[in-house]
Amino acid sequence: MIPSAFVRVSRYVPNLCKDNLSSFTRLIRQVELNRTTLCCTIFSLALFGAQAFSFARDELFAQASNDAGESDFADRFHQTYSVPAYLLRTYLYAEEEGKTRMHVRFGIVNDVLQFTHEEDGHYRAAYEVNLIVVDREQNMPASRIWKRELDETEFAATNDRQRFNEERTDFLLAPGEYELRVEISDLHTQRRLRRNYPLVLPNFTAPRLQLSTLAFGEMPASQDSLKFDLLALFTEANAQSGVFYEIYEAQRGDTLDAHYLISDWKDEKLEEWRTTIIAESTRMRQFEALHARLKYQGLHKLRVTVSARGQTISAEANYRVQFNAPARQNFTEVLQEYPGLAYLPLRYISSKKEFKRIVETSEPQRASAVAEFWHQRDPSPNTAANELREEFYRRVTFAQNRFATHGIGKAGWETDRGRIYIIHGPPQEVHHQMGELDPMPYEIWFYPGQERRFVFMDKNGSGEYELVNR
């Protein structure tokens, strides 16, 4: 069930051109305000040219009169986000007798599988995953087959893109070069997906300092095992979130210098720090919390370098930071912190003439000009609240907090996603792809009530999603 604040409407007020804003104001005042029924009516404001800016008036009243509606406003948008359709990761660790342990984790979401509606009312799907390891001579030293049946009682769950159906396995292999061949089959449709991954397994028993693969996840204080994050996605500063790795061939009593370097998509340094490790054995498990280092959004690279006795070894891995905006956002405080937000985003909803007048007004008089702008668009002028104004700045605040990305030279509200969010509000549904099937991350925002969809693509991994289709 889509929350009411996401619902877009079945009845529209006709779009108005930029020369007819006064008619818009009169139209608002003619509409009967009904907080009980919250009839679905969208008010359209003019943009530059003929672009429309729609507000769901009932959503405004609901949020203005019900704190509970506002408290989860931002959280509902995040919940629409989906994970990649399919993802596979491999992690390499030392094992006994000179072997290398390849830990494989695989995940697939319900939405890419074909479910059938059975007589008992349940929805069922089935898939098979075939993993084959092939060496340079085309021998097959290891393989694994999974077959899974999924049983859902609700139709909505068949389209779930919020979680993986996750599988995992381990292969013990001699060091060397291999290829991992993956075949995924939907057993109802017989559709298949094939991928091949080249692999180089190191010899962890070599008499030199070595590191395992870096793995991101959570390490609860009461446990000694990592909860793997298959997505390598950080959405909040969780004190238990960080990076796990193992150090091999250190000598007992050695003082190891661990150097951590985080860089952004342009390889510019974001964070750098060092820790000292005293070796207690020749094999050590290390976990470094990252919650204090998650200051910027976007695609990041972590490089870990360990040095001891004149030896240096490094490992690196990519991860993504995507902040959750706070559920309750006091837009008044944000406007006080960033005064420009009170008038600069108005360019999305005002005529060119109006916006030019506000921008060119002297700073002492600008607040009055902005106040007059909103006074002319007050849907309930006999009350203290201006619901349209409050909704607009809630959206500006959300966009400012949610879509800001380090290094792109734009505020959150200036990005393409920020602009569309401010104009059209929270999408009813978002498909977010950033997995191996789609190497270039993208998002699709759906507004069924407006019969619109917007496609955004992160073309360079910076975390800025540019509007590529609408």
Spell out, as residue ranges, where the chain has pLDDT lower than 50: 1-73, 79-80, 436-437
Q: Identify the domain containing residue 311 by its residue range.
A: 85-95+217-324
Q: Is residue 212 part of a domain?
A: no
**Within this chain, do residues 273 and 400 fall inside the same structural domain, yes or no?**
no
The pLDDT of residue 408 is 75
The pLDDT of residue 441 is 75
Amino acid identity for residue 223 in this structure: Q
How far is it, in rounded angstroms, from Cα 378 to Cα 388? Answer: 7
The pLDDT of residue 53 is 37
Q: Is residue 211 part of a domain?
A: no
**Within this chain, do residues 63 and 180 fall inside the same structural domain, yes or no?**
no
**Within this chain, do residues 459 and 355 fall inside the same structural domain, yes or no?**
yes
Q: Of 176, 203, 230, which residue is a domain's last?
A: 203
The pLDDT of residue 18 is 32
Q: Of 260, 289, 324, which residue is a domain's last?
A: 324
The CATH code of the domain that includes 164 is 2.60.40
* Measured CA distances, 380 to 9, 115, 247, 268, 411 (Å): 21, 49, 66, 50, 31
**Within this chain, do residues 227 and 91 fall inside the same structural domain, yes or no?**
yes
The pLDDT of residue 407 is 67
**Within this chain, do residues 397 and 356 fall inside the same structural domain, yes or no?**
yes
- Number of domains into which the chain is organized: 3
**Within this chain, do residues 25 and 163 fall inside the same structural domain, yes or no?**
no
The CATH code of the domain that includes 288 is 2.60.40.10
Q: Is residue 80 part of a domain?
A: no
Local structure of 421: helix, strand or coil:
helix
**Within this chain, do residues 397 and 435 fall inside the same structural domain, yes or no?**
yes
The pLDDT of residue 29 is 36
What is the DSSP secondary-structure string of 286-334? Answer: EEEE-GGG--S-EEEEEEEEEEETTEEEEEEEEEEE-PPPPSS--HHHH
**Within this chain, do residues 300 and 272 fall inside the same structural domain, yes or no?**
yes
pTM value is: 0.69
21-69 residue pLDDT tens: 333 333 333 333 333 332 332 233 322 222 333 343 343 333 333 333 3
**Within this chain, do residues 253 and 191 fall inside the same structural domain, yes or no?**
no
Distance of CA 220 to the CA centre of its chain: 23
**Within this chain, do residues 341 and 418 fall inside the same structural domain, yes or no?**
yes
Q: Of 266, 294, 324, which residue is a domain's last?
A: 324
How far is it, in rounded angstroms, from Cα 21 to Cα 29? Answer: 13
